[in-house]
Amino acid sequence: MERFLVLDRMTKGIVNPNVMPGPDVNKWITSMTDPITGISPDYELVCEYEPYNMPVVDTRLINIITTQSYLDAPHPVYPALKQWLKVYSTEDIPADIKKLAVDNKEDEANETTSPSPKRIKYIILAMDNIIKLTCSDYKNSSLINDKKKKEITIIKQIADKIRANSKTKDDKNALIDAGINPDLDSDWLIDEFTEDVTL
């Protein structure tokens, strides 16, 4: 539906952008011959004209700029009225903003393939497996300083808790498979992280 606007005849500025056809305007639109009444001579009724649709673009990469202006030309549908022309143009978004959009999509993709808690879980377990394969007796190794021994100990403690929670999950799923509702809130190891470890 076309949008009708009231303009100041001198400035061509919009007086009330929300004016829609009233009874007199509707009568004129129907007959196309009767004069429009009820509008002050200081004002002019115009009809919005959008010669082409808003472009379909990825607005994360391209800005759409809307320009509206008075055009002293008959409206194609209501020729007794002048046009309030509405046109669109596009503007490229700066590269650094585009790269932020790419980063966001990467995060979304990674979150889908490996949600953060699970991603951390498998990183910790992989590190623990590497420790077991390469330096299982790390506490007695003279090649590893105390700081690194502490870091390895923390990783192993976290890994032990993750494995315990993985078993708890399997146990609860087994109950569900057997038609038994488990206590969802019990048995999980939810100790807060601490860097206070004993070597």
Residue 25 lies in a domain: yes
Q: Do 85 and 121 fall into the same domain? A: no
**pLDDT higher than 80, residue 33:** no
Q: Is the residue at 165 inside a domain?
A: yes
Percent of the residues in the chain that have a pLDDT greater than 90, as a whole number: 24
Among 13-17, 86-90, 140-144, 179-183, where is mean pLDDT lowest? 13-17
80 and 13 both lie in a single domain: yes
Asked whether residue 104 is domain-assigned, the answer is no
Instruction: Give the structural domain span for 121.
Output: 114-177
Mean pLDDT is lowest, of 9-13, 113-117, 149-153, 180-184, for 113-117
Does residue 38 register a pLDDT over 90? no
The pLDDT assigned to 30 comes to 54
Out of 42, 60, 93, pick the residue that ends a domain. 93
Q: What pLDDT shows up at residue 151?
A: 82
Same domain as 158, residue 88:
no
Q: What is the pLDDT of residues 48-96, one digit of tens each?
A: 999 999 999 999 889 999 999 999 999 998 888 889 999 999 998 889 8
153 and 75 housed in the same domain: no
> Does one domain contain both 85 and 10?
yes
Same-domain status, 46 and 122 = no
Highest mean pLDDT among 72-76, 101-105, 142-146, 186-190: 72-76
Examine the fold and report which residue of 36, 62, 93 is the final residue of a domain before the chain moves on.
Answer: 93
In a domain, 199, yes or no: no
Q: Are residues 118 and 169 in the same domain?
A: yes
Is the model more confident about 197 or about 63?
63
User: Is 21 contained in some domain?
Assistant: yes
Same domain membership, residue 155 and residue 82: no
Q: Are residues 86 and 27 in the same domain?
A: yes
Asked if residue 99 is part of any domain, the answer here is no
The pLDDT, as a whole number, for residue 113 is 58
- 150 or 19: whose pLDDT is higher? 150
Whether residues 84 and 15 share a domain: the answer is yes
* 0.95 surpassed by pTM: no
Domain assignment present for 196:
no
Q: How many domains does the chain have?
A: 2
- Can you give the chain as a three-state secondary structure string? CCCEEEEECCCCCEEECCCCCCHHHHHHHHHCCCCCCCCCCCEEEEEEECCCCCCCCCCCCEEEEEEEEEEEEECCCCCCCEEEEEEEEEEECCHHHHHHHHHHHHHHHHHHHCCHHHHHHHHHHHHHHHHHHHCCCHHHCCCCCHHHHHHHHHHHHHHHHHHHHHHHHHHHHHHHHCCCCCCCCCCCCCCCCCCCCCC
Give the tens place of pLDDT for each residue, 144-171.
788 888 888 888 888 888 888 889 999 9
